[in-house]
Chain A
Amino acid sequence: MAKWWKKLSRRGRLEQDLAAELEFHREMAGVNGGTIPLGNAGLIQEEIYDAWRFNGIENLWRDLSYAARGLWRSKGFALSALLSLGLGIGVNTAMFSLAVEFLLSQPSVREAERVVYIRVGGGSHAEPRVVEIFNQSGVFEGVVGENDEPAINWNDGTETKPIFATQGTKNYFQVLGVPVALGRGWTVSDLDDVVVLQHRFWMRHFNGDRGVLGKTMVLNGRAYTVLGVLPEGHRTLMGFGYSPDVFVPQFVEGTNLAIYARLKPGMGLGEAKAALVTITARLRDEFKDQNRYRSPGEMTPVGGIARLQQERQALTIAAFFLVLLVLVGLVLLIACVNVAGMLLARASARTQEIAIRLSLGASRGRLFQQLLAESMLLATVGTAVGFAMAMMMVKLIAAIPLPIPIPIRLHVEPDWRVVAYAAALAVAATLASGLAPAWQTVKDSLAADLRKERRLRLRRGLVVAQVAVSFVVLVTGALFLRSLMQSASLSPGFDVRMTARAAAHMPPGAYAAKGRMWAYSERAVQELAALPGVEAAAAARIIPFNDATSHGLNITFPDTGEKRQVRYHWNAVTPDYFKAMSIPVSAGRVFVERDGSGPRVVVVNRTFVRKFLHDRQAVGAKFSFDGGMREVVGVVEGTKVMTMGEEAQPQMYEPLERAADGRTKMHFVVKSATPPGGQLRAMREALRRVEPSAGLEVATMYNSMGLAMLPSQVGAILMGAIGLVGLLLASIGLYGVLAYAVARRTREIGIRMAIGATAPQICAMVLSDAGWMVVIGSGIGLAVAMLVTEPLSMFLVPGLSPKDPASFVAVAVVLGASALLAALGPVRRAVGIDPMKALRWE
């Protein structure tokens, strides 16, 4: 350290000091009559500077400024290299920041690492009483309950519409420490009728008016006072970008709650889990009559990667992002190879300069460092360009409204992880694009004749690698596109073209009474069916692709006494449901009005019959489960439940009249003789006539199925775009190599033409050069793609193999075509060579 300081403090004076000292020395020698030394002052200087200056850094600085001047002089090269790198790094950084935000973000609560999510009884939610028991146990600093599901009806003065609400317990804001931008969150001493707004909702519906505090909003027919507004970047506990419109204290009695607990300071996860065992034992005692709290509880942190353990689907999402990151990584590789190719071409122009410097005594290490400095400069500036591009891309992606009925907002901000990733990319890009050319240049600069041939061979090798990598990237993109096309032609098992659906959210208080929901549904169906142009109308608990309820239980066949474990998707519908949805009946009958009373009947689908009824006569089969005996009166074709790609699921329908659960949400479906878009208004009005206070969502079936299409659509678009970027970069690389090869062979081509070669022959010569590279590259790419696309099958529709021949052929054709395009320019130049000029060349 002392040495550093000495060096630094003397830096500016060193040169003059030394000169003055030597001058004095010579003067003294002269005065004293001795011989005046004629030593080499420069050499002394060098020796002293070596010790007294920061050589590494100062050399690097010199190299960088030299490289900058060099790049400035060849702007075309610098620009295309920067564009290649910027594009590659930009795409990478954008994908990475999306993946980080989606998979690793922390919810906006104080000290998120101390907050855990608790599951008891194997379910995601539990009774409010369970939250109380957790709080009373005193094990945790605080325990809150939250429910993200409910829609709450908001009357904005002109219309009632359902908005997304998160219900939280009274201690929600205090325990979690959720930061609030404006006003405050509710506390235990607040009334029930208060509401905290999400920033986006506030901006959109209140124009960001700060005077909104203290105003009232009519929610579910009651006046709620606005207490506060959350900050713009608020991330919910649920994560994955889910952002409801408002937060309210628990408004529905008995809503089940997701449990979140704040650990006491210093309490480890292991300790907390041990305490959980004791508490679940208490739950078992208190809820003796219910079996649900028998299974042990689970506890997961709310932030970071550990959160993913609670979501089974998260693994697929994570895998999807992994594939994306690998693909964009390959694109960056292609970009680096491009830059490497350009650097090699530049290097051949500098061979003389380097040979001279080597013979003047520059060390190879020094030259190597200098050449790497150039690619380092390129990569650094490229990263800056890429970073800016990435932030733009991410903002763009996040701003696209997703066609799904759930409010998802990703708050992507460059944090240290993204910056670190971009920096790592810059280093990787420097090495990938600069190492080989620099090595080759320094190594070859003394071996005069062979060098050009060898450098060209290296560049050809690079292009072959590029073509191979593009092949893999393109195949992936093509597979996702094919998957998208196939899923569009897959049938969900019901009509989506001529149907429209509506969801009605009833005020929970008024509709809690038994039979109220049924009475409402019956009247609503009558009103809908009476609309002009409507062929059939029905009510249903569940509309496929919007939500699903699956049951797993034991059924007993009374005739043989055989017991069987079954798992199926449940729905409760009115008689015309099958007609309205165009679900074909394959045996027996559908429901009729008298099924509302008397013996309980069900309709099942063919998969249910195949899986659980086996050789029994399906229609007329009887079995019993907890609610008593059921008789199968009809068999229908199956429908998809949540995704297009899923396998056939067993399904069971019950008459809606018999399904008396406390739910206050009802779906309606209408089959129209005219395009259903024109029916929406009439449907809304009809439903409003029946119950003015209901919150309504009305949409065509086609539009409301966005969620089902989303993964394959987004995947296909992203992968397709990445594939195209890769193809573009690879074509540029191919063009560069061919152009260089033609330029180098100008003399040869000239001689050939002079002794009678025809234009087609020259043309064939250049094309075969390109052809070989593409053929070999494609061959390697094909082999690699065969191996690596296997894991993609999890994202593809069933029946589409990751080795889908059509995709592979298409990719080969596209690659060939773009190679031809890339070769066009060089071929024209080759044919246009004037033999006389060519012979005088060089």
Chain B
Amino acid sequence: MRLLFRLGVLAALCAYAQGFALAGHDAIDVDPALKRYAGQITALGAPDAKGEIYSFRAKRIRAETAFAPDELRGWRVTILAGARFANVFEVRGNSGDEITVTPVKGPLNGIAVKDVFVVENIPAAGAARPQ
């Protein structure tokens, strides 16, 4: 199962990295519903005094460019893998590849290096909350 997961993520990463044409409903050529980037966590931020983590370092999966400083401020991060799968956070800001989230949705504890995520230009406030 773990191997299958890794292969699946690898396939998806390859598709993004190599710019393969995508298929599926996306064969319908419509404008994006919102601006978004896919990314992968490369390092965890240091925990605060309570052991809570609110930042991580990341790389863009389709990495023609890095994240511009504070480009992601106010955007919504959704974790796509690992223990925090389907959890949402709100970006406080980013300094290049380091992304810091607000405490609104709680700490990031549980995320791991190599987890993938999508960051979207939409407020996290109205997004689904973990139950």
Our verdict on whether A and B bind, yes or no, reads no
Interface residues of B (CB under 8 A from A): none
Interface residues of A (CB under 8 A from B): none
